[in-house]
Amino acid sequence: MNERPALSPELNRDEIEARAQFCRGLLASAGSIAMEGFRQMEAGAPIEIKGPQDFITEYDARVETHIREHLAEAFPGDGFLGEETGAQFAPRLWVVDPIDGTANFARAIPHFAVSIAFVENNRILFGGLHNPALDETYFAQVGKGACRNGRPIRAAATKQLDRASVELGWSSRIDNTVYLDRLARLLDLGTNVRRASSGALAIAYVADGRSDAYAELHINAWDCLAGLLLAREAGAIANDYLAGEGLYTGNPILVAAPGIADAVSRATSIPLASPLR
């Protein structure tokens, strides 16, 4: 990891808009490359492993390189943080997961997404996710709401825990005993607990009202920043993920429909941001 950058002067509206438009195009082109890889996975292409339950395919690097090279050409002063090719930190930072849900992608399950977020001075300005297998694109800009395929989305109005569907993310970075404790507490509340192996899409699904909450005890920025902005812009409540070193070393994440956020926060021991936002 390189040095933490100092703050920089803020981009103006046109400069942000140009980047947001570019991001939309990149989601589409990167999604096409990922989809080409998905077809190969369906045909039985080989899968490699980075660590326990941590899969990688040649397409993770191929998609990230595509995004990184195009950004470097269009916005050479901006920084980059990617899951596969590492970090070049700068106050303006593109945060990229080329394929979130690689475990699904590798087994030809159509639940994965390209995720791109843009952060300026530790604040997410816009972000999007594209799942090419379902042709679904989520996009949010701060203060402008969140959309799926151009239509506004809202977090669910769920208030009853015995109707709530919660997703709990897992990774080998957290001890099983802690994970199992949080799982038991969520089950004791009466929620249905799922795990679909894409943190990025899980958060977007909370924004979209398809799910009522997503919690993970440690997650990296590339997995969650685009989703986090979507969730906030869609009226969900979240923790202060970017507090401290969140951008650099990860933090816990919690996003939830407002009606169940307090209860899920207590069950997972992940405090909500204060003031709520």
Q: Which residues bind ligand LIP (CB under 6 A)?
A: 83, 97, 100-103, 169-171, 197-199, 216, 219-220, 223
The answer to whether the beta carbons of residues 182 and 267 sit under 8 Å apart is yes
How many Å apart are CA 273 and CA 121, to the nearest integer? 18
SS3 24: helix
Tell the smallest beta-carbon distance from residue 73 to ligand LIP (Å): 25
Does 97 appear as a known binding residue? yes
The answer to whether the beta carbons of residues 199 and 224 sit under 8 Å apart is yes
- Give 143's contacts (C-beta < 8 A, 6+ positions apart): 233
Residue closer to ligand LIP by CB (options 55, 139) is 55
Residue closer to ligand LIP by CB (options 16, 113) is 113
Main-chain dihedrals φ then ψ at residue 276, nearest 5 degrees: -60, 135
Does 54 appear as a known binding residue? no
Beta strand 48-51 pairing with 192-194 = unpaired
Tell the smallest beta-carbon distance from residue 12 to ligand LIP (Å): 33
Tell the smallest beta-carbon distance from residue 54 to ligand LIP (Å): 6
The answer to whether the beta carbons of residues 216 and 182 sit under 8 Å apart is no
Does 167 appear as a known binding residue? no
The answer to whether the beta carbons of residues 140 and 229 sit under 8 Å apart is yes
The answer to whether the beta carbons of residues 64 and 98 sit under 8 Å apart is yes
Tell the smallest beta-carbon distance from residue 268 to ligand LIP (Å): 14
Residue closer to ligand LIP by CB (options 31, 101) is 101
- Give the H/E segment covering residue 219: strand 213-219
> In this chain, which residue has its C-beta nearest to ligand LIP?
169
Residue closer to ligand LIP by CB (options 10, 136) is 136
Residue closer to ligand LIP by CB (options 219, 236) is 219
Does 78 appear as a known binding residue? no
Does 109 appear as a known binding residue? no
Residue closer to ligand LIP by CB (options 20, 200) is 200
Tell the smallest beta-carbon distance from residue 255 to ligand LIP (Å): 13
Residue closer to ligand LIP by CB (options 37, 101) is 101
Contacts of residues 85-92 at CB distance under 8 Å and 24 or more positions apart, as own/partner, are 85/61, 87/1, 87/2, 88/2, 89/1, 89/2, 89/3, 89/4, 89/5, 89/248, 90/5, 90/8, 91/5, 91/6, 91/7, 91/8, 91/120, 91/121, 92/8, 92/11, 92/118, 92/119, 92/120
- The binding site consists of 83, 97, 99-100, 223
Binding-site sequence positions for Mg(2+) = 83, 97, 99-100, 223
